[in-house]
Amino acid sequence: MRKATAAIIIVGLIVAAGLYLLNQSDVLAPASNNGPTEPVPTLPPVKGKEKTVAEGRVVPVSVAVVSAPTAGIISEINAVEGGQVRAGDVIVRWDTAKQMAAIALAQAQVAATEAKVAEAKAGPRAQDIAIAEAALAAARAARQKLDEGANESQIVAARAELADAQAVLAQAQAAYDQVKSAPDIGMRPESLRLQQATNAYNAAKARLDTLLKPASAADIAAANAEISRAQAQLDLAKAGPRPETIAVAQSELDVARAQLEQAKAALVDLEVRAPISGTVIAVNFRPGEYTTPGAAIVQIADLSAWQIETEDLTETNVVGIREGQAVTIVFDAIPGLQLTGKVVRIKPVGESKRGDITFTVVIKPDRYDERLRWNMTATTTFNGP
């Protein structure tokens, strides 16, 4: 029975093969050279996908990070996670004691240089001219005294002073000679009186010698030099403000004012304000902690406006996307919610992700839903033209 069945199957296969070869011979038979050639049919062009689907996530339209503009110790943070802030609110303050001292020092320097400029512009004071005139008069009197020498009355008085000093010295010497053998002679009053009398005599003799000695060339030259110096000082006092003196003083004032503005600007940097209105997402520091420049202190986001950013649009898919294109959006976490939106931006630079080059497309929904949350998963369908 089994052998008969097998034989029937084999015969059937042979018949089928023969029929197939017969049909193929008709198809492959060469066309007659005498008959007309029929055109070969062509396939219609392949149409691109009318819809592209991509995964995305929900993100706020506006996000801002408040960073430290300078190094320092935080003194105040006016933000709590989940709280609301308005644009312009002071969010963070740093310790200002050191900078306030720098401002005070700069202000004092400005005041000093302002006084210097005012003095330079005011010209000579009457008392300065009077002092210079008195100095010149004294120098001229000294020069005249050298020319005239000592008068007779001065010489007589000096000689009398010397004689008196010599008499006192003789008396002191006699008293000293009487006790000079004493073992404590250095401690006795006779020794002290002798020393004092000797000094007085030498001084009187020097004064008389000076009066009797004529002025030397060096003395005259020195007196003339002093007259010239005094005259120059008087001329300078009367000349009034010099332009170069005023210019130097003004330059110093400009530098001092610039340093003051710089110190004030540094104080402004010790206070940071919220760049946007929104919800405080994260507070990374506390008062009393030290920050370095650029450290992220507070993160703020506007949770009232959302957008969708795709995550897996490859380079082969993104070429079919255009700004303004309609998009349908559904959410894994909110079944039944379907939003429409439009492409508002296609980021120009792709990034490597899991072996593919992907491009981020930003989608703005036509409306928002209060159940949307940051980083929720969304499925976006880009509708064809």
With tokens 């008087």, the residue in question is 234
Which pLDDT score is estimated for 3? 39
Sheet holding 278-283, edge to edge: 63-67, 296-301, 278-283, 84-85
Pick the CATH number of 47-62+305-385 from 3.40.50.12780, 3.40.1080.10, 3.30.70.360, 2.40.30.170: 2.40.30.170
185: DSSP letter: G
Query: With pLDDT > 90 as the criterion, what percentage of the chain qualifies?
Result: 50
How far is residue 145 CA from its own chain's centroid?
67
Which pLDDT score is estimated for 383? 86
Which pLDDT score is estimated for 155? 80
Instruction: Collect all residues with Cβ–Cβ distance below 8 Å to 36 and sequence separation of at least 6.
Output: none
Cα–Cα distance, 115 to 167 (Å, whole number):
62
* 201 class by beta-carbon count within 10 Å (0-12 exposed, 13-18 middle, 19+ buried): buried
Which pLDDT score is estimated for 227? 87
Q: What is the pTM of this model?
A: 0.49
Q: Where are the domains of the chain?
A: 1-30, 47-62+305-385, 65-95+270-302, 98-119+250-268, 120-249
At 9-60, the pLDDT tens digits run 444 444 444 444 444 444 344 444 444 445 444 434 334 456 899 999 999 9
CA 66, 70, 71, 76 dihedral sign is negative
Which pLDDT score is estimated for 38? 52
CA 274 to each of CA 53, 277, 285, 384: distance values in angstroms, whole numbers, following the listed order? 38, 7, 16, 42
Count the Cβ atoms, other than its own, within 10 Å of residue 223.
20
Which pLDDT score is estimated for 58? 97
Which pLDDT score is estimated for 30? 43
Which pLDDT score is estimated for 335? 94
Which pLDDT score is estimated for 234? 78
The widest CA-to-CA distance across the chain, in whole angstroms, is: 181
334: DSSP letter: S
- Find, among 46, 234, 259, the residue nearest to 129 by Cα: 234
Cα–Cα distance, 384 to 365 (Å, whole number):
17
Pick the CATH number of 65-95+270-302 from 2.40.160.60, 2.40.50.100, 1.10.10.10, 2.160.10.10: 2.40.50.100
Cα–Cα distance, 21 to 233 (Å, whole number):
133
Q: Can you read off the two tokens belonging to residue 364?
A: 């703005």
Which pLDDT score is estimated for 49? 52
What are the two backbone dihedrals, phi and then psi, of residue 60, each rounded to the nearest 5 degrees? -70, 150
Residues of the chain with pLDDT under 50: 1-37, 39-48
What are the two backbone dihedrals, phi and then psi, of residue 380, each rounded to the nearest 5 degrees? -110, 135
Counted residue by residue, the chain has a size of 385
Is residue 375 left, alpha or beta, with left meaning phi > 0 and alpha meaning psi from -120 to 50?
Answer: left
Q: Can you read off the two tokens belonging to residue 82?
A: 């989940």
Cα–Cα distance, 146 to 371 (Å, whole number):
109
Cα–Cα distance, 205 to 159 (Å, whole number):
8
